[in-house]
Structure 1
Amino acid sequence: MKDVLVSVIVPVYNLEQYVGRALDSLLEQTLRSIEIIVVNDGSTDGSGTVAEAYARNDGRIKVVHKTNGGVSSARNTGLELAQGEYVTFVDPDDFIDRRAYEHMYDTASQTGCDIVICGFSYVSEANLAGESARLPIIANVVLGKQEIREQIWYNLLYSDMDAGVWNKLYRRDLLGRHRIRFDETVLFTEDHLFNLVAFTYAGHAIYIPEPFYRYVVSIPNSASKKYRYNYFQLYEHVYLFKLKLLSVWGWEEDRSRRAAANYFVYQSMKAMINEFSKASPKSFLQRVRSVKEMVDSPVLRQGVHVVEASPDYVNSLYSLGVFNYIRKRNWWMLCLAGLYYNSFMVPVIRKIKSSIARREAIQ
């Protein structure tokens, strides 16, 4: 295909019932000069067959079949094949507004930005209209390196609210020149790590607030519903990666270090609670041992020390006492907190979500 403006990479693994909807939303794009690269990552259902059927009807779709290697491997495969001036990603259980890529590409072309961000909505099968997410970025203004650092990069240190790659256009040349790829050694947080590097090198970026991307929540068997092993170790890896980038670029001021440490300590708290999830295959003693190992981690101790130096950076959830348990290495209270949350809070949250979903379905 000549003059491909946008390459859309769709990694697929066992989502036969949803991939058609995603592809329909891409084929309906008002920007016609796109290529759609579907990477079938070793699906054992009919996902690959569905994609092939779509490809026979539209030459803009390319289907690649590979052995299962995870979403990062699938996306990297797509990046190697992409021919577009810009590249983006769509998860196969999501979909996108038909005007999205025309509007985003026109903005990129007019402003010369390396990365264009659009808004997104959280939707469900019962409520496809959804609710728009609010991003803490000045809208419709070209951001230079300093503004990217203050409004985007800093937020990536502090949270993962806009860590996804699916609501962004990336200049392919930017990714190629700096060999920016997804880390295939991690089971999740791959988007977060990718964006940390991409925004480090981006010269200009812009945020369009229109919620073009529809992020579908609570689909069984999708990646967000899997039990996550090595939760703590992965976020420890993310924290060390952030510190390395801060050091390389000379951005080691206290504010940035505190933001990175606060995020890591918060995720560590979630990791400890996660150990007592009913989905965990570990015995009770193994769970206790895991929590104790986390509490004693030298990397976490260093993060706690940084957070302690600035109480205003402590997340509001820490007011429950969990942060103090971590700070004091009170691992047995952390175990009790994990048991309480999973035994009492999780069922309540599920009931509330189920009730909301039923009301939305009726409406």
Structure 2
Amino acid sequence: MSIKISILIPSYNSIKYIKEALKSAVNQTFKDIEIICIDANSNDGTLEFLKEEQRKDERIRIILSDKKSLGYQLNLGFKEAKGEYLTIIESDDYARLDMCEKLYELALKYNCDIIKSDIMHFTRREKQYKVISYEANLYNKILKEQDKIELIQHSLIAYQGAIYKLDFIRKFKIKANESDGASFQDTGVFFITLSLADSIYLHNEALYFYRKDNENSSIHSKEKIYCVCDEYDFIYNFLNKCDKELMKKLFAVFLYKKFKAYWWNLKRIDNKFKLDFIKRFALEFEPVIDKLDKNFFTNGEIRELKEIIKDPENFYKRYKSPFFKLRKKGARLKRKIKSLFKNDK
């Protein structure tokens, strides 16, 4: 059998969800696949389940990881994959059964390094459609070098629901950050792949289901304070080593995505860590405050960053105020209304 797509499923103690994830891979309507399960020596029955399923389906391979690191596991999968393309299904998510078929058809038609679909966020109670790009004009066409900055600026961080040319991954020796556990490594893979790809195609249909209510997910770990910082350090160092001129071109949008990620992280982490993180925020943005591009940052965002840098402790006091939260809600509503008017034109 000629392997067209390698499906990577990294796992660790995922018995609650792994059956649904693996079932969605095994039952893909597209059959020219291999399924590589990279397990970090689970002790909750996950590994035993995978071995049992492997006995039923010769397309399943199991690789044991000696590190409990999503990034390390992904890198093992990148190394072992044999397909023309690869895709990732996380062990608490699942793919639509025609995901590989639809994405591979687009790959044959457009021959891009990355073919990427929208995704569906879901919990036990509801589903919510999420676009990969907030700009409709970026869909259904081949995106090239001139589109990268706009694409990165307006995209949801998600490496899922996509297929990547394996030759592209290996040409640039693309890797995930090998930090401990599941620690937002999708951030690095997302930014690096979009930055280095020669061509990208966005498909406006949700083909991947991303679980939002797994209590063990890294997004719910309020004590993972600086993992986001580690990811942006990893992105900068990787791209700077790979292509310094490209990193210079992308530096303005890199700072913008980093700022947005740090702000998101501030809201996410436990209250007892917020002041320390604000100080880290100030420390990292002080050297670049004069390099922020107003094509990305609003005047209000730059003003807020200057306040954080000038006096982190005073900013933290303001941040805790209910009036601050009300002002933020008002600003978000204003941006939403502005966006709606923009899209109606």
Q: TM-score range by the shorter chain?
A: 0.7 to 0.9
Matched letter for residue 176 of structure 2: F
Aligned with 2:24: secondary structure? Answer: helix
TM-score (ref. length: structure 2):
0.80
Partner of 1:166: 160
Partner of 2:195: 200
Change (3 A) 1:294 1:192: closer
Say whether 1:262 aligns with 2:247. no
Change (3 A) 1:274 1:53: same
Tell which deviates more after alignment, 173-182 or 138-147: 138-147
Say whether 1:302 aligns with 2:287. yes
Segments of 5+ residues of structure 1 without an aligned counterpart are 281-286, 346-363
Matched letter for residue 291 of structure 2: V
Partner of 1:9: 8
Partner of 1:175: 169
Aligned with 1:76: secondary structure? Answer: helix
Aligned with 2:164: secondary structure? Answer: strand
Q: How far did 1:10 drift? A: 0.4
Partner of 2:185: 190
Partner of 1:93: 92
Partner of 1:359: none
Q: How far did 1:39 drift? A: 0.8
Partner of 1:60: 59
Count of paired positions:
320
Matched letter for residue 334 of structure 1: F
Q: Percent identity?
A: 17
Say whether 1:225 aligns with 2:220. yes
Partner of 1:314: 298
Q: How far did 1:114 drift? A: 1.5
Q: How far did 1:232 drift? A: 6.3
Tell which deviates more after alignment, 264-273 or 72-81: 264-273
Segments of 5+ residues of structure 2 without an aligned counterpart are 327-345
Matched letter for residue 209 of structure 1: N
Mapped to 2, the partners of 1:29 and 1:323 lie a distance apart of 47
Mapped to 1, the partners of 2:7 and 2:299 lie a distance apart of 36
TM-score (ref. length: structure 1):
0.77
Q: How far did 1:20 drift? A: 0.2
Q: How far did 1:273 drift? A: 5.6
Aligned with 1:237: secondary structure? Answer: helix
Mapped to 2, the partners of 1:269 and 1:132 lie a distance apart of 20
Mapped to 2, the partners of 1:290 and 1:61 lie a distance apart of 42
Mapped to 1, the partners of 2:311 and 2:260 lie a distance apart of 16
Partner of 1:125: 124
Say whether 1:139 aligns with 2:133. no
Matched letter for residue 28 of structure 2: Q
Q: Is the 8 A contact 1:40 1:66 kept in 2?
A: yes
Q: How far did 1:324 drift? A: 4.5
Q: How far did 1:169 drift? A: 0.6
* Counterpart among 288, 291, 312 of residue 331 in structure 1: 312
Mapped to 2, the partners of 1:181 and 1:312 lie a distance apart of 28
Q: Is the 8 A contact 2:187 2:231 kept in 1?
A: no
